[in-house]
Structure formats: structure tokens, C-alpha cells
Amino acid sequence: MGDFFGALGDIFTSPTMYGSAVRLGGFLAFAALGELVAEKAGTINISVEGSLLAGAFTGTVAFHLTESTWLGLIAGALGGLIIAWIQANMSHRLTADQFVVGLTANVLVLGLAGFLNGIIDPAARRASIIEIPLLVDIPLFGPALFGETWPTYLLYPLIPLTWWLLYKTRWGLEVRAVGENPQAADVSGIDVNKRRREAIYYGGILAGLGGAFLVLGQVGSFDTGAVGGRGFIAIAAVYFGGWRLGGVLLGSFLFGLADAFRLALPVLGYSLNAQFLAAFPYLLTLVVMYAITKQFRQPAALAQPFVRGLR
């Protein structure tokens, strides 16, 4: 028993562990912040997985052509936006089932990315690390938060930007209104489906940026399996956080920590069943979804399509 707790102590006091948790949790947070806005508008953007993968691929291709990390990140955001545009317009203009559209978009992106990756074979490179003086010297958490590749720091202004958009602008008020009572919002003159489409666009941009960050800010190369279902974990992080910004960020970090735990064990010389470790983040997702989501009130019209005059 003493060896067990000693091993846990080694793992959870390792700066490497928290560095991985911030990188993996940050990747999830890009997507989860955008998904929060979409769900506040009353829509579940199942295609977030496809936006992440599209962002990773288009970001890699843009970097391959220009050798510019900035252009790669911008291209990634545009790639995510394209998938979000498909999701938004088919779900909230043509009234197709949003879950079917999202799953179809995910499969489409996976196939296209794999096909085009084999043809283009784009090369990427991990961005340089920038350390913020003084803050990077904070024990344990300093290197994890303030000694990362520079695309990681894009997340920091996106957090207050998302909060401001949702809670301090008229647009955010209307987005929350259509997620709670779309019929009342419609009577007051708000274009319900337009606001829902715009919320999905925002989510797609952030997810695409997160996908490009995965390649250019973390791994330095593209692989169709790199996203690996984490778009769905980002959705789970929104549920975990109770549709609150702080809770969503906490959920992203905890899911990132679970993923980092899997990676840290072999690095620190410990071994555990490889299949269990690979499944651990997803098992945690299922447990959290079962145990926590009933504790919070979701937007009242979440996942309910809006058709004027129908209640």
C-alpha cells in the first residue's frame, strides 16, 4: 500500500504530469469553450469532432505551404468553420436532424482528411516555447502554465472573450434567450435559428483553432487518429461544468489530467494495463456524464429544433 501511495505521490508531484495536463486540457478547452456557446443557444454541435480534425488538417497543410504557424492557426480556424457551417445550415436552415448531420460530418472529415493526407503528405513543426519571466518559476504549475509553446497562450484571451460575448453583449443575451425559450425569443423579434447558426460558427472556429493547436502547438505532425474522439470529451466537459464557463474549464483540465496520467505513467517508470490506460479518459467521461449531469440545469431548449409556431 505504501508503494501505491508513493507512486501516486511521484506522479502527482511531477511537473511533466501537469505540463501534459495543461496541453491536453487546453486542446479540449478550445473546443469546449465553443461548444458552451453553441449549447447555450440550444444546439448540441456533434460535429465538433469533425471541426477539430478539419482544423488540424487544414492547419497542417497551410503550414506545409507557408511555413507560418500563424497562417496555420488561421487556416485551422477556417477549416473548423467550414464544418460548423455545414452543421449549422443543415440543422437550423434545412431542419435536418442535428445529430445525424453532426455524425455524418465527422465521418466525412475523417475520410477526406485521410485521403488528402495520403496525397499531399503535409509536414508540420511544433511551435517554439516561450517562457513568461517570473511566472514560469512558480513551483509545479509555473512551467505547465507559463512555459509552453506560444499557441497555448491564445487560449488565455479566449476565455474572457467568450465570457464577455455570452454575458456582456446583446448578442450573448439573445443566444442565451434562444437556448432557454425560443418561442418567446421569436416573439420579441430575435431570429432564433440565425442566432443558433452563429453560435455554432463560433464553436467551429474555436474547435478548428484547437485542432491546429494540437498539431502546431503540441505534436508537430498530423495524423487522422490524433483527435481520437476528444471532440466528444469536449462536449462532456460542457456537461461536467454545468454549462458554466468556470466549470467547463475545470472539466477540460480534469479530462486532460486523466489523459496526462495515462502518458505520465510509463515516463516515470510505472506500468499498468495498456488497454485500461487507453480507455481511462473515456471511462471517466462516461462516469462523469452519469454522476454529475443531473446535478445541473441544462438550457431548457437544448437539442430542440425550432419551427415558428410549434411548441
- DSSP for 99-114 reads HHHHHHHHHHHHHHHH
Question: According to DSSP H, which parts of 93-191 are helical?
Answer: 98-120, 142-146, 155-167, 170-180, 182-187
Give the integer Cα–Cα distance in Å for 309 and 146: 52
**pLDDT at res. 170:** 96
Model-level pTM?
0.90
pLDDT digits (tens, 9 = 90+) for 121-143: 999 999 999 998 888 888 877 88
Residue predicted with more confidence, 50 or 13: 50
Question: According to DSSP H, which parts of 241-273 are helical?
Answer: 245-267
Angle at 305 between CA 302 and CA 309, to 5 degrees: 120
Give the integer Cα–Cα distance in Å for 72 and 124: 9
Give me the domains of the chain, ranges plus CATH numbers.
20-295 (1.10.3470.10)
Calculate what percentage of the chain has a pLDDT beyond 70.
85
The position carrying cell 499557441 is 151
pLDDT digits (tens, 9 = 90+) for 273-307: 666 666 777 777 677 666 665 667 788 888 888 77
Angle at 76 between CA 254 and CA 107, to 5 degrees: 75
pLDDT digits (tens, 9 = 90+) for 82-95: 999 999 999 998 88
Q: How confident is the model over 207-225, as a mean pLDDT? A: 94
Assess contact for 50 and 109: CB atoms under 8 A: yes
